[in-house]
């Protein structure tokens, strides 16, 4: 079993200031994915532990589930099309640290000046999380920074 207590530092929900999109992290009952989604069958994540979700800010619908894989890695299973899995962090403690780093650099990122610094800092914290363009953190940074650029134009 993996130590999940670091997640308690995030509280019940993490939202990004002035972000119109979904919640960043909403705490969920810690239970096997197979209990939450019985039709998952023998999928490789069936024994993973659900620890949080991404929820629509208005309707509160679950858009994704954060799961701790048997390796200890945190992954995000997207519940809306295109359904896919994304590697998030090497472990839960690094997710908490990276989330705090994002929150600390949020104002600069949204002002269009913090992208490179934030990307470098996240890479120092968890190089594996930044290795693939398809992973969670690189895509999240591009989304958040891109929205700031769109608003400026």
Tokens 């690094």 correspond to what residue? 94
Number of structural domains the chain divides into: 1
pTM, full prediction: 0.90
Q: Which domain holds residue 30?
A: 5-152
- For residue range 8-60, list pLDDT tens digits in order: 999 999 999 989 889 999 999 998 888 877 766 666 667 789 999 999 988 88
| Helices and strands, counts by H and E, the chain | 5, 6
User: pLDDT for 114-142, tens place per residue?
Assistant: 999 999 999 999 999 999 988 999 999 99
Write the CA distances from 27 to 12, 14, 21, 96, 129, integer angstroms. Answer: 5, 9, 17, 12, 21
Position 37 scores a pLDDT of 75
């Amino acid at each position: 079993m993996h130590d999940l207590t670091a997640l308690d530092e995030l509280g019940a929900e993490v939202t990004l200031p002035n972000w119109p999109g979904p919640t960043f992290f909403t705490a969920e009952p810690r239970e096997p994915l197979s209990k939450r989604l019985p039709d998952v069958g023998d999928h490789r994540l069936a024994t993973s532990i659900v620890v949080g979700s991404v929820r629509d800010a208005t309707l509160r619908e679950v858009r994704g589930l954060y799961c701790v894989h048997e390796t200890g890695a945190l992954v995000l299973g997207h519940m809306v099309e295109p359904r896919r899995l994304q590697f998030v962090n090497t472990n839960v403690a690094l997710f908490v640290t990276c989330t705090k780093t994002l929150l600390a650099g949020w104002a600069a990122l949204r002002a269009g000046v913090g992208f490179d610094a934030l990307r470098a800092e996240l890479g120092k914290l968890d190089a594996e999380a930044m290795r693939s363009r398809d992973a969670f953190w690189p895509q999240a940074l591009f989304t958040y920074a891109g929205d700031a650029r769109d608003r400026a134009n």
